[in-house]
Structure 1
Amino acid sequence: MTVSNFELFIAPRILELGREYFQSNAIVGLRSYNGQFFEAKVWGREPYRVMLELDGDRIARSTCSCPFERGKFCKH
């Protein structure tokens, strides 16, 4: 999975909810380290810590502190 094709791997409803978070400015404190590691706080019912690690264009790892358990990727 890469930055350019990640939408193919995530359920449409999850993508829609994620876009709503982005459009409502719920993503705050976005930080990038060396352009390969990203961290942000996303406000949902409470603030969640989201991290993304890239290996070139490939998404190597992503995590979120939310309790979502139904799939690999949450809306945050």
Structure 2
Amino acid sequence: MGVLDASTSPPKERYAVSKANIIKLIQPGNVDDQLTEILRNGARALLAQAVEAEVADFLGKHADLKTADGHQRV
């Protein structure tokens, strides 16, 4: 009546890796070297330039739009 054969049940304390094989990954925001910091700052600068270029392009394309009373719409 619902009794499991011990030979078909997996052992309780069996793991695929041992604790000796586990390494701690670097968490986001924890920068330990200057190269990583330089790359992050460079990526931020490139992103800022891309956003500024997109905004300038958008404003340039819509600079001729005027409101009903003659003011620039954008």
* TM-score, scaled to structure 1: 0.22
Q: Which structure has the higher relative contact order (CA within 8 Å, separation 6+)?
A: 1
* TM-score, scaled to structure 2: 0.22
Report which of the two has the higher share of strand: 1
Based on CA coordinates, which of the two structures has the bigger radius of gyration?
2
Report which of the two has the higher share of helix: 2
